[in-house]
Chain A
Amino acid sequence: MADLTLPLRGFGWERIPGAAYMLAVLSASFALVSNGFVDGTNLANIGMQSTILLLLALPMTLILMTEGIDLSMGAVLTLASVVLAAVAVKTGSVSLALAGALALGAAFGFANGALVAWLKLPPFVTTLGTMGIASGLALVITDAQSITGVGDDVVFFYAGKLAGVPVPLLIGVAAYLCTHWLLYQTRFGTYVFALGGNREALRLAGVRANAYLIGVYAFGGAMAGLAALLLTARISAGHPTAAIGMEFDAIAAVAIGGTSFEKGNGWLFGTVLGVLLVGVLRNGLNLLAVPSSLQVVAIGVLIIVALLIESVKDRA
């Protein structure tokens, strides 16, 4: 599964990932049941809204592959979004705001990575702690109020178009291509597989495993910083609880896409499918007026179905 071209070589039912089946089935169902689903604008919306989740899910894939996890991503995204809004409003400079968000995200990512790699703290509980710190900071900075007055130059990054293509889609595609290159074409990516698959082998080979592990978490933080740009642009404000909990959707998307909590096994394109699935599910359920709270339950069911399909395919 480390090769994007793998599913395309030779046709066979078992080669199609479970997520693809589910996407087809789910989309077809919504198309039948709900009028507004198969609408050009609606579908475009799904794509655009999914981009923010994609920016989180891509690095989350890498983190899960190292047998770790980052529960603080949603909170870091929220914090970065708030900071971005504040800087944009104060200085009027988008680049400065973006730089701030990226730096903040990377800093949190580095901190997470350092705690996990150097101090050997368990990732789950540790990122639970940093999640508290990040969400607390967001509340403190904003005094629990939204930061409004974000200019059009920021909003452009969500609502605008470049050469006829919505900017978020461009960013999403670029982010995917970069992460793909990182994971499959660089030494860094090779070591991500090894960090989860056989960390000791990596050390025996003389590689500084800790540095790369920290790098993986830092990458996640930086992507959260980038996602903050899209988030702030989308809601035209910096809201202190905007993306709290989004890490769950990201983890779900990665798991549905086929990356399990297994050792060093991961499929990046699967994450894209997973993100689309979550996006389609939420969108479809919204159109059916299902409350967002139940949508979470639906996502949980989706994960279970994906896992079941994979295990059935394994046995076949």
Chain B
Amino acid sequence: MTALTMPRLALSGELRAIGHRLLAVVALCTVLSLMSDAFLTTGNILNVLRQAALVFLLASGLTLVILTAGLDLSVGANVGLSACLAASVIQATGSAFLGAAAGLVSGCAIGLGNGLLVTALRLPPFIATYGTLWVIHGLTYWFMAGATIHGLPPAFRALGSGYWLSVPIPVYLMFVFLAIGIGFARYTTWGQEIYAIGANPVAARLSGVPVNRRLALVYTVSGAMAGLASLIFLARLNSAEGDIGEPLTLPAIAAVLIGGTSLFGGVGTVSGTLVGALILTLVLNGMNLLAIDANWQPLVTGAILIIAVALDVLTRGRDGANR
């Protein structure tokens, strides 16, 4: 496997998997540029990319969880707690590095906790993560005690708001983790095992796949990515308060599903999630450009989620997967 052939295969395989969704992106862009002059400006495009990057980073780990036919409803709350912890540490120590570390550790810990609930206690994923969602939510509010943390050091803020070569930094992170995600899912044995677990956990176990260990891994990764996303989010907003992160769960799940990953497991790609994040962000951006009230956004996201789920169920045709 030479270095020359590998990237070529990567491109063709992934592109084939997300073909018509990319067309949807192109179509959306065309429609939006026709509907509003403000769309095709540099500022707006970069904004869209930055937003999509944030959603993607959060949803990339979630993709792995959904690939195993699981679910992580706590990602939004995870972002909230991790961001608040990171902000507090920065405020207390003045060190952006320590703050970032705190955020990442928090994300991983929550993810690992979810993983243990699912594997050791054998709780169904949607119930387990629904429970942790509320517990983390409560802890975040209690920790912040109603206060808001402002004014983070510029070095840290660059993570979310900064540019390099005129492109927002989160966009670079997006591509980095896209590559990592594709690499993991397609080019490691662990990735192959994760797909197998989603496709048929019984057969996977009887083929020698250590199912519990892999499940614990994907939930931890989902948590870790939430931790990373929380840093970007925090850097962008430059403030942290209790309800930060709340509205992120719905778009994250929607992005994964729009991207073609099935709730029933075993089918889907990380690059699909990126395209899904793009599609979602474009729709919301279009609404902004058309001066549609921002209050409509959760509504539209919810509707898109339901449509994506319906399409998933209709194409999979599988019954009895009760989530």
A touches B in complex, CB < 8 A:
yes
When distances are taken between beta carbons in the complex, the residues of chain A under 8 Å from B263 are 122, 125
Query: In the complex, are the beta carbons of A300 and B124 less than 8 A apart?
Result: no
Q: How far is the CA of A122 from the CA of B142 in the complex (A)?
A: 33
Q: Within A259-273, which residues are at the interface with B (CB < 8 Å)?
A: 261
State how many angstroms separate the Cβ of A294 from the closest Cβ of chain B. 5
Query: In the complex, are the beta carbons of A129 and B302 less than 8 A apart?
Result: yes
Q: How far is the CA of A295 from the CA of B293 in the complex (A)?
A: 34
The one of A128, A131, A248 in contact with B134, judged by C-beta atoms closer than 8 angstroms, is: A248
Query: In the complex, are the beta carbons of B302 and A133 less than 8 A apart?
Result: yes
Query: In the complex, are the beta carbons of A129 and B306 less than 8 A apart?
Result: yes
Query: In the complex, are the beta carbons of A143 and B306 less than 8 A apart?
Result: no
The one of B124, B300, B305 in contact with A128, judged by C-beta atoms closer than 8 angstroms, is: B305
Query: In the complex, are the beta carbons of B250 and A128 less than 8 A apart?
Result: yes
Known: A123-B322, A128-B250. A136 touches B309 (CB 8 A): no
State how many angstroms separate the Cβ of B74 from the closest Cβ of chain A. 12
Interface string of A130-160 (1 = CB under 8 A from B): 1111011101100110000000000000000
The one of B135, B298, B319 in contact with A135, judged by C-beta atoms closer than 8 angstroms, is: B298
When distances are taken between beta carbons in the complex, the residues of chain B under 8 Å from A303 are 131
A119 at the interface (CB under 8 A from B): yes
When distances are taken between beta carbons in the complex, the residues of chain A under 8 Å from B296 are 136, 140
B152 at the interface (CB under 8 A from A): no
The one of A132, A140, A291 in contact with B141, judged by C-beta atoms closer than 8 angstroms, is: A291
State how many angstroms separate the Cβ of B62 from the closest Cβ of chain A. 12
Q: How far is the CA of A119 from the CA of B253 in the complex (A)?
A: 19
Query: In the complex, are the beta carbons of B299 and A137 less than 8 A apart?
Result: yes
Query: In the complex, are the beta carbons of B142 and A139 less than 8 A apart?
Result: no
A120 at the interface (CB under 8 A from B): yes
The one of A129, A139, A144 in contact with B303, judged by C-beta atoms closer than 8 angstroms, is: A129
> Main secondary structure on chain A at its contact with chain B?
helix
A296 at the interface (CB under 8 A from B): yes
When distances are taken between beta carbons in the complex, the residues of chain A under 8 Å from B295 are 136, 139-140, 143-144
Known: A120-B319, A129-B303, A136-B295. A295 touches B309 (CB 8 A): no
Query: In the complex, are the beta carbons of B323 and A124 less than 8 A apart?
Result: yes
When distances are taken between beta carbons in the complex, the residues of chain B under 8 Å from A291 are 141-142, 145
Query: In the complex, are the beta carbons of B313 and A296 less than 8 A apart?
Result: no
Q: How far is the CA of A135 from the CA of B131 in the complex (A)?
A: 21
When distances are taken between beta carbons in the complex, the residues of chain A under 8 Å from B253 are 125, 128
Q: Which of B73, B124, B126, B298 has the most chain A CB atoms inside 10 A of its CB?
A: B298
The one of A119, A122, A132, A135 in contact with B321, judged by C-beta atoms closer than 8 angstroms, is: A122
Whose C-beta in chain B lies nearest to the C-beta of A199? B320
Q: What is the count of residue pairs linking A and B with beta-carbon distances less than 8 angstroms? A: 112
When distances are taken between beta carbons in the complex, the residues of chain A under 8 Å from B95 are none
Q: How far is the CA of A291 from the CA of B137 in the complex (A)?
A: 13
B71 at the interface (CB under 8 A from A): yes
When distances are taken between beta carbons in the complex, the residues of chain B under 8 Å from A121 are 306, 309-310, 313
Interface string of A11-31 (1 = CB under 8 A from B): 000000000000000000000
> Main secondary structure on chain B at its contact with chain A?
helix
When distances are taken between beta carbons in the complex, the residues of chain A under 8 Å from B319 are 120
Query: In the complex, are the beta carbons of A126 and B131 less than 8 A apart?
Result: no
A310 at the interface (CB under 8 A from B): no
Query: In the complex, are the beta carbons of A125 and B323 less than 8 A apart?
Result: yes
Interface string of A104-123 (1 = CB under 8 A from B): 00000000000100011111
Known: A121-B309, A140-B295, A143-B295. A133 touches B303 (CB 8 A): yes
State how many angstroms separate the Cβ of A91 from the closest Cβ of chain B. 24
Whose C-beta in chain B lies nearest to the C-beta of A297? B138
Whose C-beta in chain B lies nearest to the C-beta of A138? B295
Q: How far is the CA of A122 from the CA of B312 in the complex (A)?
A: 11
Q: Which of A125, A131, A295 has the most chain B CB atoms inside 10 A of its CB?
A: A125
When distances are taken between beta carbons in the complex, the residues of chain B under 8 Å from A292 are 141
State how many angstroms separate the Cβ of A283 from the closest Cβ of chain B. 17
When distances are taken between beta carbons in the complex, the residues of chain B under 8 Å from A129 are 250, 302-303, 305-306, 309
B202 at the interface (CB under 8 A from A): no
Q: How far is the CA of A123 from the CA of B313 in the complex (A)?
A: 12
Q: Within A41-87, which residues are at the interface with B (CB < 8 Å)?
A: 67-68
A293 at the interface (CB under 8 A from B): yes
Q: How far is the CA of A300 from the CA of B123 in the complex (A)?
A: 15
When distances are taken between beta carbons in the complex, the residues of chain B under 8 Å from A67 are 322
Query: In the complex, are the beta carbons of A130 and B298 less than 8 A apart?
Result: no
Known: A123-B322, A125-B263, A129-B305. A293 touches B139 (CB 8 A): yes
State how many angstroms separate the Cβ of A214 from the closest Cβ of chain B. 16
Query: In the complex, are the beta carbons of A300 and B135 less than 8 A apart?
Result: yes
Q: How far is the CA of A129 from the CA of B250 in the complex (A)?
A: 8
Q: How far is the CA of A303 from the CA of B130 in the complex (A)?
A: 13
Q: How far is the CA of A115 from the CA of B137 in the complex (A)?
A: 29
Whose C-beta in chain B lies nearest to the C-beta of A67? B322
A–B pairs, 27, beta carbons within 8 Å: A115-B306, A119-B313, A119-B314, A120-B319, A121-B309, A122-B309, A122-B313, A124-B323, A126-B306, A128-B73, A129-B303, A129-B309, A132-B305, A136-B298, A136-B301, A136-B302, A137-B299, A139-B298, A140-B293, A140-B295, A140-B299, A143-B293, A292-B141, A293-B137, A297-B135, A300-B135, A303-B131
A-to-B contact residues, CB < 8 Å: 67-68, 115, 119-126, 128-133, 135-137, 139-140, 143-144, 248, 261, 291-297, 299-300, 303
A-B pairs, top 6 by smallest CB distance, nearest first, are A132-B302, A136-B299, A293-B141, A296-B138, A122-B323, A139-B295
Not counting A129-B250, A293-B137, A293-B138, a sample of 14 additional A-B residue pairs whose C-beta atoms are within 8 angstroms of each other reads A68-B322, A121-B309, A122-B263, A122-B313, A124-B323, A125-B305, A129-B302, A130-B302, A131-B302, A133-B306, A135-B298, A136-B300, A140-B296, A144-B295
